[in-house]
A and B are shown apart, each in its own frame.
Chain A
């Protein structure tokens, strides 16, 4: 297999409130000999809120981010579900509407950029499954996760709206019964936990304006995983992680259940199986502690 190279759009969270996500992503890529080129020019994707205020501005900024992957001749990978959705949605809208693309390019030209539509945009999860391959990943496992019951938590923006994601991924995930995380867990020789809330919402996006809603949704997901004997939860989305890990006490109150479940980022789980050290994976950065 020739060396895989991608432009990495980190998003804001991996640079700020979940530094362990960036750290573990880089550690896993190194172990797998995947080259990740950081898009340091990129701006925030607007996290699905900027578009509520100014849709056109959101399109221009997201298109600019993709331009920098295109300039390097690389496909983009993301490590946050919401970044993935916003970037993919922008790309899809521009690629399917020449008039809109021209309007956006008119602005981008002011800073010497042009959006062409040549880079694909995928979450790291799907790039791994589709390009690296689960069999190759399985070959790299040095510490099988066979002792762990792992609850996959998908996060909304990687699986819905499914039609949009199917333009970007070869993996045609069924949003009502997604399986990619389970397949990945199996490749790492872990036991995946089947539970109803695995493809439900954690409520992150209303954390400020409707904390009660947010806390109940988070609490329901944690309690469900816990009731199905999960030792740990794993998610490909750092925003879900923030709700599920940091807000566990608030969620406990909201649903009236004692909840204490470590919540790992996807690359942290992979890294554990590949033999990365807890330090390389930033395991000490979790509010709900990850037992050694």
Chain B
């Protein structure tokens, strides 16, 4: 198969702006993206730089983007990339703005955030145990494979909130926090939940775009773990009353009243006094017939059924 590659080139020491090299190659059936990176270096330009180590999808160092899709170069088959995007492929580092040399990026911010969630087990361990500390399978299952994370950063660099809010801890750190909050041996559950509960940098700032779930090459579903952290924050009584928590709780409150959501009331309940800042937009919407007034609020048919189910199926209090 003939494929045209556009390859991102940049050297922070000498270049002001990046450029792209266009290289045409014959791609063989069994090649992975890393084979192409190797061939670019060996056959075209020895100065071409990228990271790789294990070649088995376990060290996480070879992450790059192909046509905007994050991937582990050593794991991703070229035929699959060609099937997805055709035979013009753009190879770029996972984050262009963090590029140091070609595919090599500066991951300092990633590791700094990773560290904040205490990515280790906190437990009193007997130095001379008489027997193995065995975790029953059903307890291990609760981790939902969160322990498979290889810190490749694919999710982190795909996350749009990371791009616009430098405080946001991002999916990989949350994934790691969950790996330990779900571990029965860990003693720091509440402490970790408090770390990720902070507005501005924590789990409440996730826009739920599912980019991380799509990007993760280990299929760990980071946003699924973020949802679990939300649940644990409520279950463990860590949740503070603020605009984010009230927003989540407000749905139950509203569904109980009307079945469908009272959108205006939800904003009011979530924001409290802060609601005044929405007045201008609310007025614009009102002018265009986009707001239902409380006395016209529609209700679901068979509302009693919904109310009965809310009563019998609720599992959490706030």
Contacts and interface: CB of A to CB of B under 8 A. Distances in A.
B306 A43 contact: yes
Contact of A44 (B204, B255, B308): B255
Contact of A57 (B85, B284, B298, B310): B310
A111 interface: yes
Contacts of A19: 289-290
B244 interface: yes
Contacts of B209: 156, 160, 200-201
Contacts of B208: 48, 156-157, 205
A201 B207 contact: yes
Interface centre among B205, B207, B254 (most CB of A within 10 A): B207
Contact of A41 (B243, B281, B300): B300
Interface string A239-252: 00000001100100
B84 A174 contact: yes
Contacts of B168: 213
Chain B facing A: main interface SS: helix
Contacts, number: 202
Interface string A17-42: 11100000000000000000000111
Contact of B312 (A54, A107, A160): A107
B164 A160 contact: no
B260 to A, nearest CB: 4
A246 B251 contact: no
A107 B264 CA distance: 30
A43 B253 CA distance: 12
Nearest to A50: B251
**Interface size band for B:** 35 or more
B308 A111 contact: yes
A144 interface: no
A229 interface: no
B18 interface: no
B260 A61 contact: no
Interface string A171-209: 000111100000000000000000000001101111011
B44 interface: no
B285 to A, nearest CB: 6
B92 interface: no
Contact of B285 (A17, A46, A56): A17
B292 A209 contact: no
B261 A44 contact: yes
A215 B84 CA distance: 31
Contacts of A49: 247-248, 251
Interface residues on A, range: 35 or more
A265 to B, nearest CB: 12
A59 to B, nearest CB: 8
Interface string B291-318: 1100000101110011011101111101
A13 interface: yes
Interface stretch (B19-27, B56-64, B227-235): B227-235
B252 A57 contact: yes
A116 interface: no
Q: What are the nearest 8 A-B pairs in CB distance? A: A160-B210, A52-B230, A201-B209, A12-B261, A50-B251, A209-B244, A53-B248, A111-B305
26 contacts: A12-B263, A15-B298, A16-B261, A43-B255, A44-B260, A47-B251, A49-B247, A55-B227, A57-B309, A57-B313, A107-B309, A110-B312, A160-B213, A176-B67, A176-B69, A176-B84, A177-B84, A177-B85, A201-B160, A203-B207, A206-B206, A208-B247, A209-B244, A213-B205, A250-B281, A287-B288
Interface of B: 67-69, 84-85, 160-161, 164-165, 168, 199-200, 204-211, 213-214, 221, 227, 230-231, 234, 242-244, 247-249, 251-252, 254-255, 259-261, 263-264, 267, 270-271, 281, 284-285, 288-292, 298, 300-302, 305-306, 308-310, 312-316, 318
Given A47-B251, A52-B248, 15 more contacts: A15-B298, A42-B259, A42-B260, A43-B260, A52-B231, A54-B231, A54-B316, A56-B315, A60-B309, A61-B313, A177-B67, A205-B208, A213-B205, A217-B164, A287-B284
